[in-house]
């Protein structure tokens, strides 16, 4: 029983209690993983792992033969490639045969990872291996976009989970949606079929089956126009609603912080606004601990570190406030005022992080999402600068300390040295004061340090930032789609059975799980959770049910026309049905005027010239035959005469 309580406290849900984080075959995805993966022994590959491995090896042989040597990347990625031809696409589609064709796209992504790994261990052929990895991605994109059966594409190709054999053991089953995000496969993520699937997952039109977490099923009330049918607390499992709730809570969190900072309590007491502020913080801390416990170190990223620092500052502020409350008011020694002021100081320095934290929940909008992608890449690129800077600073710091020690056998100016070096890094060097460091050595050394930092290293950092900015904005749309897919998968990949978004997770822990779960019947406990979630999220559910009712009406209209559920009628489509482009001859004119992009202009000219030469040869042969017959007739007439 206590184990159930602690498992609930740590966030284990119905789907993850039965297993643990994947350790077998851990190296399968750890090199390139962007999202945490979860282990559930009940989840099995839709196709036996040995069969999927065989299909993957067939794909590998196909790629080796189609890309036998280094080529220009454009020859593989161009729309009408002479390398990835329709025959190659058809061969890839048939690699799985008639029964196992659904795993071909997954096998292409597996081959992409294989080729990228081989490029790292065989640097002499890295360009060839990277090109083959690109060919795998191009083939996967073409197969997704050429699939006409949407139901088969979504449920079998993209969302079914598959495994391969590694060291004779099957790996943890993954689907194409997860694998593409892990590999940052921008071409696959940017394909229309993939984005349709992400859109359905984001809206909650595709949900995990309650009885089989490895299977995704259609939301049964997607086309139900009844308002009450959508007042379901389980709809909060949809990523769209979770993201909206998190955004609203984040604004409320910022509002509490602003009020707390603008109403400083002179007596050092804690008012109700600060109580709610610290309760929110406790909920967020519990959520971070839960994520780390469930996903391991793979969950750690920039935002986790950012939030951890923010919550650490707030926790420190709370500790100092509690220490201040331990002293009586009017303390003659002033300890209560001192610790209270120290508490507000920690609270004040966290203000920039509070406002920057909003970007974490605004990244679903394209403007903020693209900007955050650029910032993330810039931060990664800056690691090179800070690595070089660290080595340079340690070397020059040791030199300055040595000069100071050689002067009077004591190190007295360590604070001055560190401050002056920091000013040089911030492009505000101060050369005064280094004359006393064993002149002229100290001044010359500081000039060298300033030159290395300000002229060389900072320009390297600017070049890295500029390169990162250009690389991202060349693929800004695909990068944003990849970020959005990653955000969606953080909600979908291992969702909780009961969605309690911080700080509401405190209600789940201290009101439901600890006092009730260990003795209450499972069905009763689940019903109680639904009631509590319905009360907590009732304002949002009342609004979301209205929009879902309107979407259901649109879905029914689309199905009546024979269109897809998410189809919309644009302005140019409204009038398109009132004209007939074939009857007025316009279609024929366009067909005669358009160019054939599948054939190069020079090749088309040569083919035309070849046809003309063949026609000329026929004319000459006909003329030769006619002249021969005429000559024979004239000889016969002369003989008779």
Q: What is the pLDDT of residues 345-394, one digit of tens each?
A: 999 999 999 998 888 888 777 778 777 877 777 877 788 888 888 899 99
Q: What is the C-alpha to C-alpha distance for residues 66 and 34, in angstroms, rounded to an integer?
A: 30
Residue 164 has what pLDDT? 94
**Which residues lie closer than 8 Å to 203 by C-beta, 6 or more apart?**
238, 240, 551
What was the pLDDT predicted at 408? 63
Distance between CA atoms of residues 397 and 65, nearest Å: 57
Q: What is the model's pTM?
A: 0.80
d(C-alpha 505, C-alpha 8), whole Å: 11
Both tokens of 573, joined, read 């489509």
Sequence-ordered list of residues with C-beta below 8 angstroms from that of 278, at least 6 positions apart, any chain: 270, 314, 318
Two tokens, residue 523: 């069905």
CB–CB of 64/178 below 8 Å? no
* DSSP codes of every residue in 322-357: HHHHTSPTT-TT-HHHHHHHHHHHHHHHTHHHHHHT
| Cβ contact 458:388 at 8 Å | no
Task: Give burial (CB, 10 Å; 0-12/13-18/19+) of 138.
Answer: buried
The CB density around residue 616, as the number of other CB atoms within 10 Å, is 10
Digit-coded pLDDT (tens) for 182-228 = 999 999 999 999 999 999 999 999 988 777 767 888 898 888 888 88
pLDDT score recorded for residue 296: 64
CA contacts within 13 A on the Cβ side of 332: 0
> In whole angstroms, what is the distance from residue 409 CA to residue 23 CA?
55
So where are the chain's domains? 2-190, 237-362, 366-488, 595-632
For CA atoms 436, 442, 444, 447, the dihedral sign is negative
Burial class (CB in 10 A: 0-12, 13-18, 19+), 226: exposed
Interstrand relation of 169-170 and 165-166 (parallel, antiparallel or unpaired): antiparallel
**pLDDT for the residue numbered 41:** 56
Distance CA 588, CA 254 (A): 62
- Residues 372 and 302: beta-carbon distance below 8 Å: no
Calculate the alpha carbon distances from 633 to 193, 314, 623, 639, 641 in Å: 72, 114, 15, 10, 13
> C-alpha 433: how far from its chain's center?
51
Residue numbers of the chain with a pLDDT score lower than 70: 1-42, 213, 268, 295-299, 406-412, 494-497, 633-641
Angle between helices 239-262 and 272-295 (to 10 degrees): 140
What DSSP character marks residue 103? G
Virtual torsion, Cα 62, 66, 71, 72, nearest 10 deg? -90
């Amino acid at each position: 029983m206590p184990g159930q309580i602690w498992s609930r406290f740590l966030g284990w849900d119905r789907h993850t209690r039965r297993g643990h984080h994947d350790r077998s075959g851990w190296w399968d995805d750890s090199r390139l993983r962007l999202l945490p993966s979860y282990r559930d022994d009940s989840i099995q590959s839709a196709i036996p792992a040995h069969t999927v491995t065989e299909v993957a090896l067939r794909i590998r042989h196909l790629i080796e033969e189609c890309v036998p040597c280094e080529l220009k990347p454009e020859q593989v990625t161009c729309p009408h490639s002479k390398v990835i031809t329709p025959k190659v696409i058809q061969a890839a589609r048939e690699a799985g045969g008639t029964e196992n064709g659904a795993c071909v796209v997954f096998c292409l992504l597996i081959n992409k990872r294989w080729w990228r790994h081989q490029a790292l261990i065989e640097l002499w052929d890295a360009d060839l291996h990277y090109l083959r990895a690109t060919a795998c991605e191009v083939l996967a994109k073409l197969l997704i976009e050429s699939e006409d059966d949407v139901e088969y594409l979504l449920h079998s190709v993209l969302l079914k989970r598959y495994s391969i054999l590694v060291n004779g053991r099957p790996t943890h089953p993954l689907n194409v949606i997860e694998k593409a995000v892990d590999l940052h496969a921008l071409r696959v993520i940017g394909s229309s079929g993939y984005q349709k699937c992400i859109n359905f997952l984001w809206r909650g039109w595709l949900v995990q089956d309650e009885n089989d977490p490895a299977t995704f099923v259609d939301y049964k009330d997607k086309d139900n126009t009844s308002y009450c049918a959508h007042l379901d607390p389980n709809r909060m499992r949809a990523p769209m609603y979770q993201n909206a709730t998190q955004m609203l809570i984040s604004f409320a969190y910022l509002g509490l912080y602003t009020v707390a900072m603008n109403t400083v309590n002179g007596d050092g007491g804690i008012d109700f606004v600060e109580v709610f502020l610290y309760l929110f913080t406790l909920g967020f801390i519990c959520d971070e601990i839960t994520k780390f416990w469930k996903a391991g170190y793979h969950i750690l990223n920039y935002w986790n570190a950012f939030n951890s620092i923010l919550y650490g500052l707030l926790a420190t502020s709370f500790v100092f406030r509690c220490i201040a409350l331990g002293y009586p008011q009017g303390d003659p020694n002033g300890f209560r005022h001192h610790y209270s002021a120290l508490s507000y100081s920690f609270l004040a320095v966290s203000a920039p992080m509070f406002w920057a934290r909003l970007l974490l929940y605004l990244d679903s909008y394209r403007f903020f999402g693209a900007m955050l992608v650029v910032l993330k890449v810039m931060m990664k690129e800056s690691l090179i600068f800070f690595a070089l800077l660290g080595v340079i600073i340690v070397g020059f710091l040791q030199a300055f300390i040595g000069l100071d020690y050689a002067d009077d056998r004591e190190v007295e100016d360590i604070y001055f040295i560190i401050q002056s070096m920091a000013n040089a890094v911030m492009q505000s060097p101060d050369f005064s004061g280094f004359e006393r460091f064993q002149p002229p050595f100290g001044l010359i050394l500081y000039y060298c340090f300033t030159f290395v930092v300000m002229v060389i290293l900072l320009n390297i950092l600017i070049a890295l930032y500029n390169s990162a900015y250009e690389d991202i904005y060349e693929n800004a749309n695909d990068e944003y789609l990849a970020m959005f897919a990653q955000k969606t998968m953080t909600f979908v990949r291992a969702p909780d059975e009961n969605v309690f978004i911080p700080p509401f997770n405190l209600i789940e822990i201290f009101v439901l799980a600890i006092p009730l779960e260990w003795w209450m019947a499972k069905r009763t406990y689940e019903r109680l959770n639904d009631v509590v979630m319905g009360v907590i999220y009732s304002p949002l559910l009342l609004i979301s049910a209205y929009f879902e009712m309107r979407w259901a009406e649109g879905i029914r209209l689309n199905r009546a026309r024979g269109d897809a559920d998410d189809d919309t009628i644009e302005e140019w489509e409204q009038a398109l049905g009132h004209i007939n482009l074939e009857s007025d001859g316009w279609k024929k004119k366009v067909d005669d005027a358009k160019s054939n992009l599948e054939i190069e202009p020079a090749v088309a000219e040569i083919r035309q010239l070849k046809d003309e030469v063949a026609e000329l040869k026929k004319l000459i042969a006909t003329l030769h035959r006619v002249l021969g017959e005429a000559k024979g007739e004239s000889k016969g007439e002369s003989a008779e005469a």
